[in-house]
Amino acid sequence: MYTGNNSVVTEFILTGLTDWPVLQIPLLLLFLGIYVITMVGNLGMITLIGGTSHLHTPMYYLLSSLSFIDLCHSTVIIPKMLMNFVSEKNIISYNECMTQLYFFLIFVIAECHMLAAMAYDRYVAICRPLLYNVIMSPQLCIWLVGGVYFMGLVGATAHTGCMLRLFFCKDNVVNHYFCDLSPLLELSCSSIYINEVVVVCLSAFNILTPTLTILSSYIFIITSILRIRSTEGRSKAFSTCSSHMAAVGFFFGSGAFMYLQPSSVSSMEQGKVSSVFYSILVPMLNPLIYSLRNKDVKVAMKKFMEKRILCFYILLNMLELRIT
Contact 228, 251 (CB under 8 A): no
The 3-state secondary structure of 232-252, one letter per residue:
HHHHHHHHHHHHHHHHHHHHH
Other CB atoms within 10 Å distance of the CB of residue 75: 16
- Greater pLDDT, 107 or 277: 107
Residue range 188-222, pLDDT digits in tens: 988 999 999 999 899 889 888 998 999 899 899 88
**How far is the C-alpha of 267 from the C-alpha of 95, rounded, in Å?**
26
Task: Note the pLDDT of residue 5.
Answer: 42
- Residue pair 290/66 in contact (Cβ under 8 Å)? The answer is yes
- Which range of 14-23, 132-141, 222-231, 281-290 scores highest in mean pLDDT? It is 132-141
DSSP states along 98-164: HHHHHHHHHHHHHHHHHHHHHHHHHHHHHHSGGGHHHHT-HHHHHHHHHHHHHHHHHHHHHHHHHHH
pLDDT confidence band for 319 (50 / 70 / 90): confident
* Confidence (pLDDT) at 293: 65
3-state secondary structure at position 262: coil
In this predicted model, what pLDDT tens digit does every residue of 152-173 receive, in sequence order? Answer: 999 999 999 999 999 888 788 9
pLDDT of residue 2: 40
Instruction: Find, among 211, 33, 181, the residue nearest to 104 by Cα.
Output: 181
d(CA 118, CA 122): 6
Q: What is the pLDDT of residue 18?
A: 79
| Max Cα-Cα span within the chain | 79
Q: Name the pLDDT band for 37 (thresholds 50, 70, 90).
A: very high
The Cα 232–Cα 282 span in angstroms is: 30
Q: Tell me the β-bridge partners of 173.
A: 13
Burial of residue 170 (number of CB atoms within 10 Å: 0-12, 13-18, 19+): middle
pTM of the shown model: 0.87
pLDDT digits (tens, 9 = 90+) for 258-290: 655 555 444 666 667 777 887 898 899 888 876
- Measured in degrees and rounded to the nearest 5, phi and psi for residue 56 equal -85, 70
Average pLDDT over every residue of 296-305 = 76
What pLDDT digit, counting tens, does each position of 70-83 carry? Answer: 999 999 999 999 99
Q: What are the chain's domains? A: 11-293 (1.20.1070.10)
Query: Distance (Å, rounded) from C-alpha 275 to C-alpha 71?
Result: 16
